[in-house]
């Protein structure tokens, strides 16, 4: 199955978060999904990487935020990607409960990959919750390494060469 480019999907748009209001919308979705739904402690959900990360935001036509994700690159990504400066780190991918199944997650991943390409990166790594491995595999990511806990949730590292 081939997904259309994220820019052409109906009913919402995906874009880089440009200002404080966009970032607040990103953080609100993350709080809803990770803190409220999954029980991740709020003090570990938000971190120092948020300040310099590229955040992407999916927004419904009426302005309601549907999903978000972020890209770390350069030094910020090194600890998560094995130190390779050509590899970015996709993280904090979250889609509001009511927006799941609409292609928002895939559109966010593709937007993050586009942001990685724009920065000259050759691959993107991520730490996937194990229940989401199939989602990322369908988008071309390959799992590597052993399962590990993050915020008490089982994860696996994955990579996609761009």
Could you give the CA distance from residue 85 to residue 62 in angstroms, rounded to a whole number?
38
140 pLDDT tier (thresholds 50, 70, 90):
very high
What residues make up the domain containing 105? 12-161
pLDDT for 2 beyond 50: no
Asked if residue 103 belongs to a domain, the reply is: yes
Indicate whether this model's pTM tops 0.95.
Answer: no
Q: What share of the chain is helix, strand, coil (3-state, %, to 5)?
A: 40, 35, 30
Number of domains in the chain: 1
The bridge status of strand 123-129 relative to strand 87-95 is parallel
Q: What is the CATH number of the domain that holds 105?
A: 3.40.630.30
Q: Which H or E element spans position 76?
A: helix 75-81
Could you give the CA distance from residue 57 to residue 80 in angstroms, rounded to a whole number?
22
Asked if residue 1 belongs to a domain, the reply is: no
């Amino acid at each position: 199955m081939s997904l259309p480019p994220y820019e052409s999907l109906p009913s919402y748009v995906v874009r880089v978060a440009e200002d404080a209001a966009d970032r607040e919308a990103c953080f609100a979705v993350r709080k809803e999904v990770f803190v409220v739904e999954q029980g991740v402690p709020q003090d570990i959900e938000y971190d120092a990487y948020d300040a310099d990360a590229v955040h992407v935001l999916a927004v419904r036509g009426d302005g309601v935020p549907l999903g978000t994700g972020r890209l770390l690159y350069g030094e910020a990504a090194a600890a998560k990607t094995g130190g390779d400066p050509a590899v970015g780190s996709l993280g904090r991918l979250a889609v509001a409960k009511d927006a799941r199944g609409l292609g928002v997650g895939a559109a966010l991943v593709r937007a993050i990959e586009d942001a990685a390409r724009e920065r000259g990166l050759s691959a993107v790594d991520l730490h996937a919750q194990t229940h989401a491995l199939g989602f990322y595999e369908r988008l071309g990511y390959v799992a590597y390494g052993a399962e590990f806990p993050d915020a008490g949730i089982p994860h696996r590292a994955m990579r996609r060469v761009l």
